[in-house]
Amino acid sequence: MHIRKMTELNLTGKRVLIRSDLNVPIKNGIIQSEARILAALPTIKLAIEKNAKVIIMSHLGRPKEGCYTKKYSLLPIFEYLKKKLNNTKMYFSQNYLNDITLNSGEILMLENVRFNKGELSNSNKLSKEYSSLCDIFVMDAFGSAHRMQSSTYGIGEFVKIACAGPLLINEISALKKALKEPKRPMVAIVGGAKVSTKFNVLHKLSKIADTIIVGGGIANTFLAIDYKIGKSLHEPDFIPEAKKLRDKYNIITPIDSRVGKNFCKTEKSIIRLPSNIKKDEEIMDFGDETITKITNILKNSQTIIWNGPVGVFEFPHFRIGTEKIAKTIARSHAFSIAGGGDTLSVIDMFNIKDCISYISTGGGAFLEFIEGKKLPAIDMLEKNFKKIN
């Protein structure tokens, strides 16, 4: 992989446009998780230290393209960054496609790129407009590296110099370390609601991991191979494919589960064996025997890849499995990589950020990289490298 690195370039006096991933949960104007912002900060600080004219762009949520919506404005993130970079002059711009005036050592933050028509469709017109804003484009948004959009891919077709930021480089290096030369035993935990969206990654991980642990709705689909699981979330159409995987690889499914009758925060949990789940009950977490079995596996592992919670961790009576597993990973001496939006929320909830070897800012990109797919942003950076060299 031949790509240009931001750290190799002279940024002094240059207009440096950084595509960050600042897509964080915001509720009533208050940021709920700072993880992605904090991960993006070192790259921004580096550009300031190099006396560049720094421009930051990102998306937030899924607004209707071409329409400003206050709910999806980056203004709360701008205010947060102003406090973190209080010695730096910072500006915010909603109308920035025509021209930008900025001095060295200053920062201009652009409004949500998804308010711009053509962003999602990778419009050539918009990509050219982005490229005209800068001398150097820095792709640092690993979480959006799987998107072929104007701010992540198209701009690279028109800008003279495109390079990878430190965060993107670190993400790729950490994932390669875990996937190509893992210390063994290697364990992968794959949680989440839908097995259909994660079959490719399960196939890939099954070939390289010694053990796969499935949780959430994914585990329910595996349980439905042999049991009637009440009204539990699962995908009946994918039961045959789940059976093929289970029969071929070492996939750990729950031996008991926490169930409830109502999907709400106040619902109390009951532990059931898969064979005893009632018609009006749904699985929402691992049971105690399953937790013990899995934590013992994790304690003996040397590499852990973790994507997704194993239960409805937002509900107090159904977060036990996710909490015990998260804290076991945190205490482990294994090289651990965690990725995915819900995974980041779990890490914040249990305050274990400093105990995970590497926390990926990517969700979809994290999974696609594990699957072995070439991410469009990486492809763009390689093409730009070849164009100049």
Check 13, 118, 230, 364 and give the catalytic one.
364
Cα 108-139-368 angle, rounded to 5 deg: 135
Q: Minimal CA–CA distance to 50: which of 88, 80, 82, 84?
A: 88
Check 165, 215, 341, 363 and give the catalytic one.
341
Cβ contacts of 30 within 8 Å, gap of 6 or more: 76
> Using an 8 Å Cβ cutoff, are 134 and 97 in contact?
no
Q: Establish how many alpha carbons lie within 13 A of residue 125's alpha carbon, considering only the half-sphere containing its beta carbon.
A: 5
Q: Which residues are annotated as a binding site for (2R)-3-phosphoglycerate?
A: 36, 114, 147
Check 82, 128, 194, 353 and give the catalytic one.
194
265 annotated active-site: no
Q: What are phi and psi of 53, to 5 degrees?
A: -95, 105
Check 14, 36, 53, 319 and give the catalytic one.
36
Q: What are phi and psi of 339, to 5 degrees?
A: -150, 155
Enter the tokens of residue 163.
Answer: 């390079």
Q: Which residues are annotated as a binding site for substrate?
A: 21-23, 36, 59-62, 114, 147
Cα 282-284-288 angle, rounded to 5 deg: 115
321 annotated active-site: no
Cα 336-164-114 angle, rounded to 5 deg: 95
Distances (CA, A) of 326 to 44, 76, 141, 172: 30, 30, 25, 23
Q: Which residues are annotated as a binding site?
A: 21-23, 36, 59-62, 114, 147, 198, 314, 340-343
194 annotated active-site: yes
Q: What are phi and psi of 186, to 5 degrees?
A: -110, 130
341 annotated active-site: yes
Annotated catalytic residues are 36, 194, 341, 364
